[in-house]
Chains A and B, each alone.
Chain A
Amino acid sequence: MIRVSNLVKSFGDLRAVDDLSFAVGPGEIFGLLGPNGAGKTTTISVLSTLLPADAGSASVCGHDVAAEPGAVRRRIGVVPQELALYEELTAEQNLATFGQLYGLSGPRLKSRIGELLELAELAEHARRPVKGFSGGMKRRLNIMLGLVHAPEILFLDEPTVGIDAQARSRILDLIRSMNARGLTVLYTTHYLEEAEHLCDRIGVIDHGRLAALGDKEELIRQIGEHDVVRVQVPAAALAPAAAAAAAWPDVTFADLRRGKLEIHCRDGAALLPRLQAELSAGGLGLDQLEVIRPNLESLYLKITGRALRE
């Protein structure tokens, strides 16, 4: 559905998108994960025909974004990062305006508006001016405006910025529900947990370049990260326990950190029984145990050398 090849877009000396390539399949939720300024919005702007690319190519639903912008626009829906709503108008009028711009009219438009308002749980507020809506309601309507013409692909540019956890959860549910009806989604975010839980595949983007690409498990495998096991044992046992653990297969690191024994291994859960047995044999017990699974945070730190929310 989306194919991006060696895309480049610069603003003056700044290369916002730098040789970016990826593809998104039908019905997929694809996440572009990266911090502010990574090039996510610029990528969406090029794909939605708002900005011309400097080099490379991109196509949406088989239509080149540069050569056939009209065909692309009719097939995509865009949900901008900001709340792009007419606050003076009602929810219904907002939807009707954009529906009509895409050629909908009459009963078809009315039915579509009703369907979307139901989906967004805004049917009761259809005739209220948007300026009286809560942040979460505005966010949901913001998404519905991108869907009013039933696009094949929806570009969502950080749609959950600045809202509370409950509202965010409702929006993610909404996106899953639309995806279940066959909608392909390109979702940009700098929230790791959103990307982890929502997206089928994730492209990690930094300084306009694609740093990693795959589903969550693939990404973790790509960086070769291990589980981290932290054990609190009596002080006298720390050094011998560390020496013993370092000799075990699959353990890549075993040493003292902040008064605890820290072990890096392929499978932390599998290590635990052996560790407990060794300690018991020496007449020692476990005071405290912590197993930390690798996640996208550690992946991102390893790839970019900086925290994601910087």
Chain B
Amino acid sequence: MLRVLVIKDIRRWWSDRQAVIVTLLLPLMLTAVLGISFGGFGGGAPEIEAIPLALVGDPPALLREQLERALRESGLFAPVWCDSAEADRLVRKGEVRAAVLLPGDLQQLLSPERVAIGVWKDPGSVLQADIVEQILRRGLKRVQGGEAVYLAAWPADGFPATGEPDPFGDLLAGDSLAAVWRRIRDGSAEAEAARQKFEAILDHQAALIDAFDPPAVALTVVDRTGQEAKGVGPSTNMFDYILPGMGIFFLMFAAAAAAGDLHRERAGGTLRRLLVAPLGSSDLLVGKWLFAMLNGLLQLVVLFAAGRLLFRMSLGPDPLALPLAAVATSAMLASLFLPLALLTSNEKQMGSISTGVTLFMAMVGGNFINVDQMPAVLQAAGRFTPNYWANRTFNDIAVHGRGVGDILPRVAVLFGIAAVMLAVAVAIYRRRGGKAGLL
């Protein structure tokens, strides 16, 4: 019986173009907008407003000037130099999106030792702060890669090592690294050829570092709520939590629509017809729940597949973790709005309430802003929203690279919420007189 009910709803959903668009295409479209906004497609320079950035440290004047110029010329950043106290104030007030705390001696970046760089992020501007973090990571990687290439091409015991003529000898001659870089950057056609070759080797080297080496530079990322400081894995991609957050957000709407189908069936008269069929006492409710769960699962699969292809979203190291989290999340959200559907008198009423509930839960539960970066009060409140647990579970997988064993407690919470909400729906159904209450 359940199979028949679910197939019937799937057929209805599939033949309703509007429902298909809302369920599948709208999340994809929003993802695409996000992707274009942040250059996720790699098809040209991203056009975003320059991000205010505080730089803390005291490098040599030349380096300081070069760093600031490079940041400004990138068009992405509007850097200001300041001390750590001022940087803290600017981040807390939201006047800069992040502050980068450089090591006292920037030459440390080129040393084989592990170097610590701090990034303070403005929790109110999580996306821009994350851009700073991501670019910094990539920049550091290139610096490390560049140093390795440089040392390979220009050994410490002099150049050329073999005594053969060196086409780049003049370029690489000099007493300071900065002078060499300047010649390469501003030089002749030969310098340009050298630069291109150099960059190709550098990219290759950076990729090798990516593949084999542990990061030599540890970024310490701290939000400025003062509550929690945490390191973020070296491969963090902002889409790793934006996409699940958006997916869950849209899934809540889809789940509300699926539960509200009880009202549509009642208004259309088909509910009466179903109720006189020889179904089990709760088959109708369980059927709606199963359909909503499958529908949600499909939505997440499409979104994650698109996220992987378009934005290189991390699916986590454990191939079972993401499917398990997706099933648990879909099961939870599918049950979430069934009690509301039974307590409201029509689809319009249901729609208004469910939209309000969804937006509130999305804001508090971390669908728009990473929960870690929300104020303490909201973080505490977020724990009481079901979507918080789903967001956390996906964060564990995609951001922190955790496996099935690590996410099991949160998955259990999600299934627990699903069971409770389904039981509440059945209890309301029975309390309202079963079939008679649905008419």
B272, CB-defined interface residue at 8 Å: yes
* Chain A at the B interface: SS class: loop
CB–CB A84/B15 < 8 A:
no
CB–CB A80/B278 < 8 A:
no
Of all chain B residues, which has the CB nearest A71?
B278
Residues 403-423 of B, flagged 1 when their CB comes within 8 A of A and 0 if not, give: 000000000000000000000
Number of A-B contacts (CB under 8 A): 73
| A129-B15 contact in complex given A50-B435, A51-B439, C-beta closer than 8 Å | yes
A51-B439, A80-B269, A129-B15 are known; give 9 further A-B pairs, CB within 8 A. A78-B272, A85-B269, A86-B12, A87-B268, A93-B8, A98-B277, A101-B5, A101-B278, A101-B279
Subset of 20 A-B contacts with CB under 8 Å = A48-B276, A50-B435, A50-B436, A51-B436, A51-B439, A52-B436, A70-B278, A73-B277, A78-B272, A80-B269, A83-B269, A84-B268, A84-B270, A84-B272, A86-B8, A97-B8, A101-B4, A101-B5, A101-B277, A102-B278
| A82-B269 contact in complex given A50-B436, A50-B439, C-beta closer than 8 Å | yes
A74, CB-defined interface residue at 8 Å: yes
Number of chain A residues whose Cβ lies closer than 8 Å to a Cβ of chain B: 31
A2, CB-defined interface residue at 8 Å: no
Of all chain B residues, which has the CB nearest A51?
B436
CB–CB B11/A74 < 8 A:
no
B275, CB-defined interface residue at 8 Å: yes
Of all chain B residues, which has the CB nearest A145?
B273
A45, CB-defined interface residue at 8 Å: yes
Q: Which of B1-38 contact A (CB under 8 A)?
A: 1, 4-5, 7-8, 11-12, 15-16
* Chain B at the A interface: SS class: helix
A76, CB-defined interface residue at 8 Å: yes
Nearest chain B CB to A102's CB is how many angstroms away? 6
Q: Which of A97-153 contact B (CB under 8 A)?
A: 97-98, 100-103, 129, 145-146
| A98-B273 contact in complex given A50-B435, A86-B8, A88-B11, C-beta closer than 8 Å | yes
In whole angstroms, how far apart are the Cα atoms of A97 and B16 in the complex? Answer: 17
Residues of B in contact with A (beta carbons under 8 Å apart): 1, 4-5, 7-8, 11-12, 15-16, 268-270, 272-279, 433, 435-436, 439
In whole angstroms, how far apart are the Cα atoms of A121 and B16 in the complex? Answer: 27
Residues of A in contact with B (beta carbons under 8 Å apart): 45, 48-52, 70, 73-74, 76, 78, 80-89, 93, 97-98, 100-103, 129, 145-146
CB–CB B279/A50 < 8 A:
no
In whole angstroms, how far apart are the Cα atoms of A84 and B270 in the complex? Answer: 5
In whole angstroms, how far apart are the Cα atoms of A309 and B272 in the complex? Answer: 26
CB–CB A84/B278 < 8 A:
no
In whole angstroms, how far apart are the Cα atoms of A93 and B7 in the complex? Answer: 10
For B12, B16, B278, B436, which residue has the most chain A Cβ atoms within 10 angstroms?
B278
| 9 tightest Cβ-Cβ pairs between the two chains A and B | A84-B269, A82-B269, A88-B15, A101-B277, A100-B4, A84-B273, A97-B8, A73-B278, A78-B276
Nearest chain B CB to A185's CB is how many angstroms away? 16
- Which A residues touch B439, using CB under 8 A? 45, 50-51
In whole angstroms, how far apart are the Cα atoms of A88 and B264 in the complex? Answer: 13
- Which A residues touch B11, using CB under 8 A? 88-89, 93
Of all chain A residues, which has the CB nearest B279?
A101
In whole angstroms, how far apart are the Cα atoms of A49 and B276 in the complex? Answer: 7
- Which A residues touch B279, using CB under 8 A? 101
Nearest chain B CB to A38's CB is how many angstroms away? 18
In whole angstroms, how far apart are the Cα atoms of A97 and B15 in the complex? Answer: 15
